[in-house]
Amino acid sequence: MSKQDWFLIPIFLILCLVPLSGSRFYVFLATDILIFALFAVSLNLLLGYTGLVSFGHAAYFGIGAYACALLMRKASIVFPVSFVAAGLFGALAALIIGFFCVRLTKIYFAMLTLAFSQIVWAAAFKWNSLTGGDTGFIGVPFPQYLDSKTRYYYFTLAVVVVCLFIIRKVVNSPFGRILTTIRENSERTEFIGINVKFFQLVAFIISGFFSALAGALFGIFNHSVFPDFLFWPASAEVLIMTILGGMYSFFGPVVGAAVVLFLRMQITSYTQYWPLILGMILAVLLFFFPGGIVGFLQNRLTLLRGNR
Amino acid sequence: MTLPDPSFLVIQCLNGLTYAMFLFLIASGLSLIFGVLGILNFAHGSLYMLGAYFTHQLVSLFVDTPGQFWWAVIFGSLAVAAIGVIIERFFLRPLYVREELNQLLFTYALVLIFSDFARIIWGTDQFSVSRPAILKGAVDILGQYFPKYNIVIILLGPCIAFLFWFILLHTRWGRMIRAAALDREMLGSLGVNVSRLFTVVFFVGAWMAGLGGALVSPVSAIVPGMDVEVIVNAFIVVVIGGLGSFWGTFLGALIVGQVYALGILVFPRLSLVFIYVLMALVLIIRPWGLLGRPLQKR
Amino acid sequence: MILTVENLKKSFDGFVAVNGVSFSIEKGELCSIIGPNGAGKTTVFNLITGYLPLDEGRVIFNGVDITHMRAYQICRLGMRRSFQRTNIFPRLTVFENVQAALLAYRGKSFNFFTPVETLFREETEAILGRVGLQDHSNAMSGSLSYGFQKQLELGIALASEPDVLLLDEPTAGMSTEETSATIELIGRIAHEKGLTLLFTEHDMEVVFSISERILVLHQGQMITEGSPDEVRTNPDVQKVYLGEAR
């Protein structure tokens, strides 16, 4: 951990203390935020680091959620195995889908990721016997040893912290550096001797793996899995979190997830028009803070330091 | 497997054709805007939805005017076009210098805003607009009834397509639009007022979407959520036909219309999957679409 | 022969850009390709380096047929290029630009857990020193001046110790001073490293001062090749550059 990361310690301590507040509401919200933070950071490995706009990332989240729930309920496999398997299913789906997608660029890439995620959604929606169709797959229990909101919260916290640590390692590795060169100028990257498509595919697989883990966490947290998890507006939502928070910083998506989910929780208790508010926040942000919340703060910080 | 009654098959085909014409109206506007401005406008479905709501509102306003439906269609769609111009002038223009993703997300923000805006004004009830007086009733096709209104729509589609094609090929504005789609920078250096051209293109594109919504109002229910449903289908149409390709959009609309209409008969459970598989296949095999042209590196 | 090109052909939408170009280059040679705009110089580069698929012809590099290889594979065999428009990684620092090229060349790119900032520090600084960018190592490369960006590009290309370096208009857009400084730099590095160099250039003074051999392209075909003196006095070349005098 470098010097710049000192701020992570108090945040981690606060997160550990959340259940002591005694508020079920905060434990619920914090679990939700942690899960979506992991999902958004996984997406950002493609978006902010590799420069690939996936418009179908809900697919891997949903696949993870269904895989974990189905393995536990229908195949009676123990939770830890189901959980890891869910991640592997996500990685496998990302391998198959990514294989085709990385051949395309820009808007065509986004469109193909959208098409594939809609195929997965339609399959989940129509395959009643397996997924329960549009009524969803209901009644997924907490595993025995995690059978309270608080315990599940700590489990989520541990998983998310470990996953973020690993992803952080990856983006700060040579592999991660090459991903940023692909984002900046994929043609040039090819001409320093890098198989760009292959690197993009590997990034896609890693992203799919962690997205699926986030989905698996969410399915159990929610006690049920619905086709809506995979529907394209869900892909748009995580994209919004990522960009709102700041796609050019590692923790930007975490901030984005926290802000969006916190505001949603607050605002939906006053009005049903949350999408309107979200749309306005998004529009204002795109206009005035193109680097997202974290990008804006970083700019401010550099300015302050420069003035001293 | 039991074969469906052939007359029913014909009617389904015609239904698919009707749907295709609406899709064509919306998707051609989407494709036009993408071709010239390079923006994939998520809010296009919202403009379509507004067209339908405006028409509903205007029809009830013009209750005693002769030809009320047609007036409502004209004014309703033009109001949508005006909204389109406002979006382009005041909101999209400052974003042209930004990354494409910002533009895309801004149009998505508009989707969220417009859908709730419609819910606030019109609530969540379903509305329907009654067909114009002269087009009430149906004709007998192989013993099945098919509404006269739908027949007019099916005939109107190719007319609009032809008109559009004519404008693109034989007018000064059309030539500029085609040139802009090929090379934006060059157009500016040739002394064309690019920013006015963009506004005109957005006006036309938004107008087509509004017109689609206005004309669909007697055929299907006006409900919240119609915006999101149609935009995904319009994306599928332009992707299959070729982004920015005009005849490709026409072909794409015909294909998607038929897949929906006939898919329900043949594989009722799989029709939803089928359309996305088709989209994915086109993107994998011919990413530039059936009638689009591949971008060539030099 | 380190590089042999046989009968290259390429057309775009019916327009024949390159029409049967053949030449060979010996190891350590310093060659240039000249020709009026649209003669097909850049397209020839694009075909050799795998940036574009070719319609017909063969490219042999170091005894290996690279005709149908992909760009990154050709790179790994030891051929590097620069682009006419500057081609760097703008939102990475100067240091990171060169370091990335080193990572790729030294086979360290597919490594997930070593902190990247610890790798190849000295090597990167050494290369930056060689191209005169040692004082800008932490600058955002996209904000550098045009001349510096071109130097950085050269640094990226050098990081992989290529056998053959293809430079597309290395001095395009530079002032006279920048041009001579860059040319001096290129010549020096080529000699030190025993590089084989093939470059296109619009500045005839530069071409005739440093090239050992010159290839002349016109309308997609090679009209002549030879030493600077031979080319200078060739009547066909004069026709192409000065127009039909009659």
Which of B40, B95, B113 shows the shortest C-beta gap to A276? B113
DSSP C135: G
**pLDDT at residue B243, rounded to an integer:** 84
Encode pLDDT of C217-242 as tens digits. 988 889 888 888 888 888 888 887 76
Closest-CA distance, C147 to chain A, in angstroms, reads 18
Whether residue A253 is predicted with pLDDT greater than 80 in this model: the reply is: yes
Chain B residues closer than 8 Å to C43 by CB: 298
Q: How many CB atoms lie within 10 A of CB B108?
A: 23
Asked whether the beta carbons of A276 and B106 are under 8 A apart, the reply is no
A131-135, B41-45, B100-104, B187-191 — which one is most confidently predicted on average?
A: B41-45
Encode pLDDT of A7-32 as tens digits. 888 888 888 888 888 788 899 999 99
Whether residue B270 is predicted with pLDDT greater than 80 in this model: the reply is: no
A124-138, A282-296, B58-72 — which one is most confidently predicted on average?
A: A282-296
Is residue B277 within 8 angstroms of chain A, CB to CB? Answer: yes
Partner-chain contact C51 B298, CB within 8 Å: no
Is residue C90 within 8 angstroms of chain B, CB to CB? Answer: no
Q: Which amino acid is at C162?
A: P
Which of A107, A116, A236 shows the shortest C-beta gap to B108? A236
CA A241 to chain centre: 9
Residue A11's Cβ-count burial label (10 Å; 0-12, 13-18, 19+) is exposed
Is residue B276 within 8 angstroms of chain A, CB to CB? Answer: yes
Whether residue A306 is predicted with pLDDT greater than 70 in this model: the reply is: no
Whether residue A39 is predicted with pLDDT greater than 70 in this model: the reply is: yes
Neighbours of chain C (3+ CB pairs under 8 A): A, B
The pTM score is 0.90
Encode pLDDT of A146-187 as tens digits. 888 889 999 999 999 999 999 999 999 999 999 999 999 998
Chain A residues closer than 8 Å to B276 by CB: 115-116, 118-119, 122
Partner-chain contact C46 B296, CB within 8 Å: no
Whether residue C244 is predicted with pLDDT greater than 60 in this model: the reply is: no
Q: How confident is the model at residue B188 (pLDDT cuts 50, 70, 90)?
A: low
Whether residue C23 is predicted with pLDDT greater than 60 in this model: the reply is: yes
**pLDDT at residue A3, rounded to an integer:** 61
Q: What does the DSSP assignment read for A127-176?
A: -HHHH-GGG-EE-PPPPGGG-SHHHHHHHHHHHHHHHHHHHHHHHTSHHH
- What mean pLDDT, rounded, does chain A reach? 91
- Could you give the CA distance from residue A242 to residue A236 in angstroms, rounded to a whole number? 10
Q: Phi and psi at residue C214, in whole multiples of 5°?
A: -125, 135
Question: The complex's ipTM?
Answer: 0.89
Residue of C nearest to B297 (CA): C52
Domains of chain A with CATH codes: 20-307 (1.10.3470)
**pLDDT at residue C245, rounded to an integer:** 43
Whether residue A307 is predicted with pLDDT greater than 70 in this model: the reply is: no
Neighbours of chain B (3+ CB pairs under 8 A): A, C
Parse chain B into domains and list their residue ranges: 25-222
Neighbours of chain A (3+ CB pairs under 8 A): B, C
Closest-CA distance, B298 to chain C, in angstroms, reads 7
Encode pLDDT of C89-129 as tens digits. 999 999 999 999 999 988 888 888 888 888 898 889 999 98
The percentage of chain B sitting over the pLDDT mark of 70, rounded to a whole number, equals: 94
Q: How many CB atoms lie within 10 A of CB C192?
A: 9
Whether residue B191 is predicted with pLDDT greater than 80 in this model: the reply is: no
**pLDDT at residue B187, rounded to an integer:** 65
Partner-chain contact B297 C13, CB within 8 Å: no
A16-20, A132-136, A199-203 — which one is most confidently predicted on average?
A: A199-203
Q: How confident is the model at residue B117 (pLDDT cuts 50, 70, 90)?
A: very high
**pLDDT at residue B296, rounded to an integer:** 63
- What mean pLDDT, rounded, does chain B reach? 86
Asked whether the beta carbons of B53 and B212 are under 8 A apart, the reply is no
Asked whether the beta carbons of A131 and A66 are under 8 A apart, the reply is yes
**pLDDT at residue B113, rounded to an integer:** 95
Q: How confident is the model at residue B141 (pLDDT cuts 50, 70, 90)?
A: confident
Whether residue B146 is predicted with pLDDT greater than 90 in this model: the reply is: no
Q: How confident is the model at residue B189 (pLDDT cuts 50, 70, 90)?
A: low
Encode pLDDT of A61-78 as tens digits. 999 999 999 999 888 888
Q: Phi and psi at residue B54, in whole multiples of 5°?
A: -60, -45
Q: How confident is the model at residue B83 (pLDDT cuts 50, 70, 90)?
A: very high
